[in-house]
Amino acid sequence: MPTIQQLAAEAKSPQVPIVENLIKALGVLETAQAGFSSDYLRHEYNVAAEDPSAAVRAVNGSIISSSGREILASITLPEISSLVEVDKSIVKKYGSIEAYLNQPNRQTAYIRKILQTLDQAMIYGNDATFGVAGAFRGFHQIAKANSKVTKQCGGTTGSRTSMFCVHWSPDEIQAVIPQIVNGLLVQAELLGGGTLQAPTASESTKARELVYGANYWINAALQAGHDYGIAAITQIDSTHIPTAADIDALIDAVKGMADGMTFLYMNRTGRRYLRTLKATMFVDTSNTSFNTQIAEWNNIPVILDESISSAETDVLD
């Protein structure tokens, strides 16, 4: 099952070098398994409502028929978008709006903001305080709705963080995007085909601006087709750190295993707490590297994500 980055590479996207560099600090986007939507901005998928049964049948015996039952679920893919407007005097220095936008630092900045916002939505969903308004449900919301918050550590509101475990699976737990068009993961379009625009600057005076513009966007959503794919430990702070048993329970909540599809997500603060936990458990006298980072927990990769806050509050509870 490919990641978003691999889908872009398969489409021979010219944005691949930018994406590869940007998502190193956005661990969710770097590792999230991804698939294409079934109908552009809408994705339909089957959810098992009732499994078929099985039984032993003797020779010449009978068996009760059972076909199971599925329901059709769907999600919409909201647009995460950025509108760029540049005064005509600045654009003229570069000759065109295309030349202005194609400066490497600018192109990177616009794509970075789109991907950072998508990563934030994957974690906090459409929460008004920590998430992205109008987005889809994120890790926090899905874990809470499915009773998969395996522990609330009781840390101080405004000074705490969370850890997540996600077991990605094809067509069930995945990021969903439309089919990549023109090789672009983040789409871009010039306003008015790159011609000068004159939007109204003041309704009272009818004064107008003279600008060139562009729109960058991506449509995406998080599909959670069953209730044991995403789990969380919340309310973690410096004096309320999960135990080793808590981390094991977090992984078990998503039926996690070392299959390359299960990941632990946390920010630098959470990773530091995990390292502190390691130090209290054992000392490896054969390891001469001091204070080494934890890369795995029972062969489950520990992934850093900068979008996870260290200032979470009780609005997420």
Q: What is the pLDDT of residues 127-136, one digit of tens each?
A: 999 999 999 9
- The reply to whether 56 falls in a domain is no
pLDDT at 284: 58
- The reply to whether 58 falls in a domain is no
User: What's the mean pLDDT in 63-85?
Assistant: 89
Query: Tell me: the pLDDT tens digits for 203-220?
Result: 889 899 999 999 999 999
Interaxial angle between packed helices 244-253 and 268-281, expressed in degrees from 0 to 180 and rounded to the nearest 10:
120
- The reply to whether 53 falls in a domain is no
- The reply to whether 242 falls in a domain is yes
- The reply to whether 162 falls in a domain is yes
Judge whether residue 86 has pLDDT over 90: yes
Judge whether residue 290 has pLDDT over 50: no
- The reply to whether 301 falls in a domain is yes
pLDDT at 224: 93
- The reply to whether 82 falls in a domain is yes
Q: Average pLDDT of the chain?
A: 91
User: What's the mean pLDDT in 259-263?
Assistant: 95
Q: How many domains does the chain have?
A: 1
Percent above pLDDT 70 for the chain:
95
Judge whether residue 296 has pLDDT over 80: yes
Judge whether residue 307 has pLDDT over 80: yes
Judge whether residue 182 has pLDDT over 90: no
| Domain around 299 | 4-47+74-284+291-316
- The reply to whether 55 falls in a domain is no
